[in-house]
Amino acid sequence: MSAKVTAKVTAKKSSKVVKQALSISAVSVMALAMASCTKAADVDSAAAGSDSSSCVDTSGDSIKVGFINSLSGTMAISETTVNQSLHMAAEEINEAGGVLGKQLVISEEDGASEPATFAERSQRLIQQECVAAVFGGWTSASRKAMLPVFEGNNSLLFYPVQYEGMESSPNIFYTGATTNQQIIPALDYLKEQGKKKLFLVGSDYVFPRTANAIIKEYAAANGMEIVGEDYTPLGSTDFTTIANRMKDSGADAVFNTLNGDSNVAFFRQYNSLGLTAETLPVMSVSIAEEEVGGIGASNIEGQLVAWNYYQTIDTPENTTFVENFKELYGQDKVTSDPMEAAYTSLYLWKEMVEKADSFDVNAIKEVADGTSFDAPEGTVVIDGENQHISKTPRIGVIRPDGLIDTVWETDAPVDPDPFLKSYDWAAGISTATS
C-alpha cells in the first residue's frame, strides 16, 4: 500500500457546491440476539459456518436493499441529504435496468441519531425486511453499534463517511476516507504551510478522540507541538472557555473535529474574539458545503477543510452528478463528500453483484478486490483486503459564496491504510487499537 504520497499545490476553478460529514457520541452496545428470519423462495445462503441464514428473496423481478440514516435528531441535517443521494442512485440504477435484471426496492429506517437505534433498526432490515445489503450510518458510534449486527447475521453494510480508521470488518465496506486519506493529508498540508503549534478541539466521542491520538503521534514525529486539547459533548453550544483557551494557547492553527450543530456555536465564538483564517486558521474534517450553509459562509470564509470530494471538482461524472441532484431536489441544493460516497457505494455494490453474478454475501466479498467505479470524485477501487477504497485527498478553502475550492491534492488516489501500517510513528496506535 502507498504510504507517502507527493502532494501538489493546485488552484482549481470551481462552479458548484457540496458537503456533508460528521460523527456522534460513543456508545457501548450489548450483543443482540440474532434470530434468523423465515421468508420464502430461492434464498441466498449465508456463509458456511455462520449460525445465521439469509432470508433474501431472489426469486422475483425485484430485490430489496436497506437505507438507514438519521432522518430525525441532531444528525438529520447531514444524513437527510445522504439518504437523498442513495435514492437518486437507486433511481438511476433502476432506470438503467436494475441489478442482475432486478429492480431495487427500498426498505428504509430512521436511525434517529442514536447508536442503539441504528443497531436495532439495522437488525430489523436484515431479519424482517430481508434486504440484500444496507447502506448508511454516519457517526462512528452508529457504525460500531451496527457492526456486531452485520457480523452476527453475515450481512453487508456500506458505510459512507470519513472516520478514524483502526477498523476493518468482513461485513462492512467503507466508502468514506480512512485516516491516511484525510487526517494525515490535512496534517501534511499544515506542515507544508509552516504550522507547528496545533490546538485540538473536538466533540467528545470515538472519532475525535481517536483522530486526536493519531494527530499527537504525527506531531511528535514531525516536529509539531500540541498546545491545547479540548472536548465538548455533542451538541454543545457554549465555547466561551474553549475559545479563550485556544486564543491564548500560542497555536498557529486549530485542528477541528467537532460535529453537528456545535460548529455553529464554535465559529460564532471564534469570530467574536476577533480571530480570522489569516490569524489562526482552522482545519476542519467534518464541515462540507452543506454544513457551511448552516454555519453561514461569512462566518467561515477562508477556513480550511479536508475531504476527497467537493462540488467544484471538474469531472464529467461530477457535472452529471451535481446537475441530476439539483434537478431532483432543487437548484439551491449542494452536494458533499458523504453524499457522493453514499451514491458511489450503491454503484460499487451493483458492480460486485454483477461481477459475482450473485447477491450472496460471500460471493460478493470474493470478487470485491479491484472492483472499480468512475465516481464523481474520480475512479475509486476497492481493496479486498480491508474493504476500503482508494481515494484522492483534497484540501479545500471555503469561498465567500459557501462553495469550496481545492487548493491542494495528492498526485494520485491513495490506497487505504486503516491501521496505518505504513507509518512507523503510528505503530503504537495500530497495536493498541487493532
* Of 21 and 304, more confident: 304
Mean pLDDT for 127-138 is 98
- pLDDT > 60? residue 22: no
- The sign of the CA dihedral 335, 380, 383, 151 is positive
C-alpha 266 chain-centroid distance: 22
What is the full DSSP assignment across 269-309? HHHHTT--TTTS-EEESS--HHHHHHH-HHHHTT-EEEES-
Torsion of CA 191, 11, 326, 375, to 10 degrees: -70
Asked whether the predicted pLDDT for residue 217 surpasses 60, the reply is yes
Does the structure show a pLDDT above 50 at 24? no
> Does the pLDDT value for residue 9 go beyond 70?
no
For 376-414, give the DSSP string: TTEEEEEETTTTEE-B--EEEEE-TTS-EEEEEEESSPB
Say whether pLDDT at 282 is over 60.
Answer: yes
Q: Is the CB of residue 236 less than 8 Å from the CB of residue 262?
A: yes
**pLDDT digits 0-9 by tens, 409-421:** 999 999 999 999 9
Which pairs with CB-CB distance under 8 Å and at least 24 residues apart come from 384-387?
Answer: 386/168, 386/174, 386/416, 386/418, 387/168, 387/169, 387/170, 387/172, 387/173, 387/174
pLDDT (average), residues 368-386: 98
Q: Is the pLDDT of residue 237 over 50?
A: yes
Domains of the chain: 7-17+180-312+392-433 (3.40.50.2300), 62-177+316-389 (3.40.50.2300)
How far is Cα 285 from Cα 237, in angstroms, rounded to an integer?
19
pTM greater than the 0.95 cutoff: no
User: What's the mean pLDDT when you consider all of the chain?
Assistant: 88
Burial letters 112-141, b for 16+ CB under 10 A, else e: bbbbbbbbbbbbbbbbebbbbbbbbbbbbb
Q: How do the residues of the chain divide into helix, strand and coil, expressed in percent and rounded to 5?
A: 35, 20, 45
DSSP-derived 3-state class of residue 176: coil
Residues 6+ apart with CB under 8 A from 256: 201, 202, 263, 266, 282, 283, 284, 285, 286, 287
Per-residue pLDDT at 419: 96
Angle (CA) 334 337 341, round 5°: 120
Is the predicted pLDDT of residue 76 greater than 90, yes or no?
Answer: no
Looking at residue 430, its pLDDT comes to 53
Q: Which residues contact 356 (CB under 8 A, 6 or more apart)?
A: 363, 364, 366, 367
| Residue 33: count of CB within 10 angstroms of its CB | 7
Q: Rounded mean pLDDT of 97-105?
A: 98
Residue 34: pLDDT band by 50, 70, 90 thresholds? Answer: very low
290-301 residue pLDDT tens:
889 989 999 999
pLDDT attached to residue 78: 84
What distance in Å separates the CA atoms of residue 21 and residue 205, rounded to the nearest whole number? 15
Dihedral Cα 196, 199, 202, 205, nearest 10 deg: 80
Q: DSSP state, 421?
A: T
Lowest mean pLDDT among 25-29, 86-90, 190-194, 229-233: 25-29
What pLDDT shows up at residue 29? 34
Question: Over pLDDT 90: what percentage of the chain?
Answer: 81
Q: How many CB atoms lie within 10 A of CB 153?
A: 27
16 pLDDT band, cuts 50/70/90, is very low
Amino acid identity at 282: V
Query: What are the pLDDT digits (tens) for 198-211?
Result: 999 999 989 999 99
By mean pLDDT, which of 47-61, 261-275, 378-392 is the weakest?
Answer: 47-61
pLDDT of residue 3: 36
Amino acid identity, position 121: R
Q: Confirm if 319 and 18 have CB atoms less than 8 A apart.
A: no
pLDDT band at 309 (very low <50, low <70, confident <90, very high): very high
